[in-house]
Amino acid sequence: MARGQLREDTYFYTGKIGNNPGDVMPFPVTREVLERGRERFNIFCAPCHSRVGDGNGFVPSRGFARKPPSYHIERLRKAPLGYFFDVMTEGFGIMPDYASQIPPQDRWNIVAYVRALQLSQNATMADVPAGQKIPSEPLKFRDAGTGASLPVLLPETNSNTEEHK
């Protein structure tokens, strides 16, 4: 057996408990996990599913045979996390598998990000932390980006008085 190929943690590599998709993350979800998941999602998933996961990505807008489903439909909001991992691993319908392009850790990172997208599109006022302004303050950019490059945020200041100087 090749070194590193034991794959003893079957849930991490399959997203399944027995034959059924599991509904837990195999590691804690941190800000870094979500950022990496967003980055990988935007590369591999957004062309079809769009950056907000509504299924209106660039590829379907150009006449692709079938539009992918929105992650925000009830069936997918209720889907266990392992379901998304399995679909990325094995493919589904006309969606190809991504097992050879996306390593398992990144597939789980994408799963965490998909769930965050789902929560963001269906949030209620009860989900807003106490003391958070609604709407949130708009982001401030040092550089807006070119479309080929990402925007650069201004560093956060500790007080609003510095902003008004």
∠ CA(83), CA(88), CA(94), 5° rounding? 105
In the DSSP assignment, the letter for residue 157 is P
Per residue in 1-32, pLDDT (tens digit) is 556 565 677 999 999 999 999 999 999 999 99
- Assign 46 a pLDDT band (cuts: 50, 70, 90): very high
Give the pairing of strands 20-21 and 16-17: antiparallel
The CA dihedral of 110, 114, 116, 117, to the nearest 10 degrees, is 130
Mean pLDDT score, 29-41: 97
Domain extent listing, the chain: 10-127
Q: Which residues pair with 95 in a beta bridge?
A: 92
Residue 135 has pLDDT above 90, yes or no: no
3-state class (DSSP) for residue 40: helix
CA-wise closest residue to 27 among 148, 134, 136, 111 = 111
Q: Element (H or E) spanning 88, and its range?
A: helix 81-90
Kindly compute the dihedral angle of the four CA atoms of residues 97, 99, 103, 109, in this order, to the nearest 10 degrees: 40
Q: What is the dihedral of CA 144, 110, 100, 92, to 10 degrees?
A: -110
Q: Which two tokens stand for residue 55?
A: 């299924």
What would the pLDDT profile of 110-134 be if each residue is shown by its tens digit? 999 999 999 988 778 888 788 877 7
Q: How does pLDDT run across 59-109, given as a tens digit for each residue?
A: 888 887 788 999 999 999 999 999 999 999 999 988 999 999 999 999 999
pLDDT of residue 3: 61
DSSP letter assigned to residue 142: E
Q: Which of residues 117 and 165 earns the better pLDDT score?
A: 117
Instruction: Report the CATH superfamily, name and number, of domain 10-127.
Output: Cytochrome c-like domain (1.10.760.10)
